[in-house]
Structure 1
Amino acid sequence: MTDYDVLAEVYEWLISEAKLPPAEFAASFDDVLRLLPSNAHVLDCSCGTGQLAVGLAGRGIQVVATDASEAMVRRTAALSEEFGTSIRAVQANWEELPDHFEDDTFDMVFCVGNSLHHAAGATGRGAALESMSRLLRPGGRLVLTSRTWELVRARGSRLDISDRLVRRNGRDAVVVYRWEIAPHWEDEHHIEIAIAQVDATGSVLVRSELLSCWPYRYEELEADLHRVGLRTEVSTFDRDAENYMVVAGKTATS
């Protein structure tokens, strides 16, 4: 099961320090943001705690943020209020997006933060990409980031423990990832993420969540994008890199 309702309260420990400020998170996508028309409408689906959405809104872009987790949507709305930006935040999973928005609504859709692997298998992934494609205007673009699952699976099941304390808002924590790698690509995999906060007295408070995921090869993602009318314009895929980004455009006839 994938909720992020527990991790939403401590999610800042999972975001790199460089991308915690909303403006910096948005700046990491400067190259693709230059492709937007004036008065652009942008959807940040799987918005997490809202750093990207708020950063985009701070630039004057009209932004809608969605997430399947109610707690994530709540944190996004709170961050938007803190920074004085105007964002519509909606709880919705990928398949529900067409119930909330008209087709051909957005100039750009972001699906970042390694979220697509939470779609249930090839069928769920295809449905998610179909929903995102439908909402794009002809000529619009999907911006997607992903773990390099070829690399993750090669490492097998394991326990990854941060080798130093991570400080956020004056508090320290140790971040732990427990990977359950299934025998076959198409099987359900699991990642358990734990945030162990350490207070000034040495007491430890642990929040953890077990998340389901269904990995995919890069070639499968390319084929899935093609099937829903999207053509890859930019790809940073490298089998030896931890993550990559794909920018895919919607053809005028999609």
Structure 2
Amino acid sequence: MNDSVLKFYEELAEDYHLIFVDWNQAISRQGEVLDKLIRSKFTTSSAHNISVLDCSCGIGTQAIGLAKYGYNVSATDISPASVKRAEKEAVSHGVHINFGVADFRTLDQDVSGVFDIVLSADNAIPHLMIDEDLNKAFQNIHTKLNHNGLLIVTIRDYDAMVKEKPTITQPNVLDEGKRIVFQVYDWAEDGKTYTVHQFIMHEINGEWKTKHNRTEYRAWLREEINNMLNVIGFTDVEWRFPEDTGYYQPIMTARKI
């Protein structure tokens, strides 16, 4: 993970909600989908009995959504600005979440206790660009899980993306044409990594302003992730896709044995 990742989220924290059509609606919808998935994996009838660590919480989209369903949520992120924003948003949504700043490669040192679930959503894991870092993150997640604990990861469908190598997303025109959001992708020659340029164009008081942020990702294939999880000691690795879950990204789950 290079310095662009922290810079990207530090600079984007204030405006991150503008990426969404309706961020509050996304909180509700993603919380609903994740709650349904979790309930299919646990026998307990009460979410209050299930502890969750969201280890890449950003400004709190999934953490707040799950806390609204009654889960015992802790949340960390590498970006102090994002965590500060998430703390404020949790208060405004009336939920209690234990927040902290942590890198998911050092969770064992940075976060106390163990959890029934460790979650990393919104394509955060692919910020880890090399095998060593991904292995380190999964090892640390493994130590933070209870026996038979569940890992949940959501990432882009890289098996499809490396074939197509898209260069731009469809611009999302919002707020009656006063906000336009899109991304430009610059792929490396080997097709394994790419730079994302995030653009938010916003009309404010008749004046258009453009915000540009950039960061880098590794296009991890499902087989690569599956093999690494199996070596570390995870089992029952499963992938679910948007057409089945209603979630906007593929969802991977795995158990700690």
**Aligned length, in residue pairs:** 243
Distance 1:16 1:147, change over 3 A: farther
- Indicate the RMSD between aligned Cα atoms, in angstroms: 2.4
Partners of 1:159 and 1:84 lie apart in 2 by 37
Counterpart residue type for residue 244 of structure 1: P
Alpha-carbon distance change, 225 to 80 in structure 1, aligned in 2, over 3 angstroms: same
The residue that corresponds to 1:76 in the other structure is 86
Q: Does residue 2 of structure 1 match 2:5?
A: yes
Counterpart CA distance in 2 for 1:233 and 1:156 is 26
The structural deviation recorded for 1:126 is 1.2
Unaligned runs of 5+ residues in structure 1 are none
Matched letter for residue 125 of structure 1 = L
Partners of 2:109 and 2:97 lie apart in 1 by: 19
Q: Which residue in 2 is equivalent to 1:50?
A: 60
Q: Provide Cα deviations, 1:95-131, integer angstroms capped at 9, x if missing partner.
A: 121112346x100111111111101211111111111
Matched, 1:177 2:183: yes
Normalised by the length of structure 2, the TM-score is: 0.85
Q: Is the 8 A contact 1:171 1:197 kept in 2?
A: no
Q: Corresponding residue for 2:212?
A: 208
State the shift of 1:243 in Å. Answer: 3.4
Distance 1:16 1:173, change over 3 A: closer
SS at match of 1:216: coil
**Aligned mates of 1:198, 1:16 — CA distance in 2:** 15
Write the distance in 1 (CA, Å) between the matches of 2:100 and 2:158: 29
Please list, as runs of the form range in 1=range in 2, the aligned pairs for 1:219-230 lying within 5 A after superposition.
Answer: 219-230=223-234
1:125 lines up with 2:134 in the alignment: yes
TM-score for both structures, normalised by structure 1: 0.86
1:190 aligned residue (171, 190, 195): 195
Report sequence identity in percent: 23
CA distance in 2, matches of 1:185, 1:135: 33
Q: 1:21: how far off?
A: 5.0
Q: Supply the AA of the counterpart residue of 2:36.
A: D
SS in 1 for 2:149: strand
Alignment pair present for 1:24 and 2:32: no
Higher helix share goes to which structure? 2
SS of aligned partner of 2:236: strand
